[in-house]
Amino acid sequence: MKINSQDFLVQEGDKVELDKWSTLVEPVYSSKKHYHELLKEHVDELSSLQRLQYASNRYAVLLIFQAMDAAGKDGAIRHVMSGVNPQGCQVFSFKHPSAIELDHDFLWRTTQCLPERGRIGIFNRSYYEEVLIARVHPEILRSQKLPDEMLDEKIIWQERYRSIVDLENHLYRNGTRIIKFFLHLSKEEQRKRFLDRIDQPEKNWKFSMADIEERKFWKQYMHAYEQCLSATSTETAPWYVVPADDKKNTRLIISEIIVDTFKSLNMRYPETDPQRQQELLSIRKQLMKES
């Protein structure tokens, strides 16, 4: 199977029904060895493209990862970005907001972490939590100290979607390219991975009772994701629904989408003008005299 990014793209205006999106597709690799070969190709290519991005200093790239627990976000980030120079890449994970963050608008804490031009920024969870977990758990919304008239659940989610889309359009107009991944995991595969975390001592730290409690809200989360993906996938900041039941396949699909996006950018190394060429020739002559 050849990876076609369009197969996983949520088109702007689409009404997403996640039960119609597969969590498992035919693998693009034929063996474990083949998987490592393909991933290395993608990683090497991404590393080269990121060096070009850093040198040209025209575009920032923001990668957003959202998923249910145990979908493999951490592993995907670790494997796909393994060859990128740390100087050109930053990863941010967003947990429960602090008291200071709760005193600001819901986009404030993530806006401070946006990537500079020439760099890749990775959000492991993001401002989208504010239309996902906050929607499933209304008590979170009520803890955000909003004026009472702002808490009307009939309108607040649409208003937040609009704020997000406006932000992403603004970033696009200023040179930031955003790629958003929803790792689509089946409930049965999550159950298996939770059991694996319990059965393997070195993975016990990854599991807590809170994970089981959140699992009880599976249907509510799927509804929240459907609404979110439908409202916020745009041509300039698209969502990709990536099948997540096969971790290896997930990583290959994600890395291909990222590479394809980088290739679509008009990037080139800075050109040397005649004055700079003369300067370099002069420096070269000086260095040659030292030999």
How high is the pLDDT of residue 120? 97
pLDDT tens figures, 63-92: 999 999 999 999 999 999 998 988 899 999
CATH of domain 5-289: 3.40.50.300
Question: What are the sequence ranges of the domains in the chain?
Answer: 5-289
The CA distance from 77 to 66, in Å, is 12
DSSP 150: G
Whole-structure pTM value: 0.93
Of 28, 19, 64, 111, which is closest to residue 261 (Cα–Cα)? 64
pLDDT tens figures, 11-53: 999 999 999 999 999 999 999 999 999 999 999 999 999 999 9
Q: Which amino acid is at 6?
A: Q
The CA distance from 276 to 287, in Å, is 17
Strands 239-243 and 9-10: antiparallel
Res. 291: pLDDT tops 80: no
Of 160, 176, 203, which is closest to residue 74 (Cα–Cα)? 203
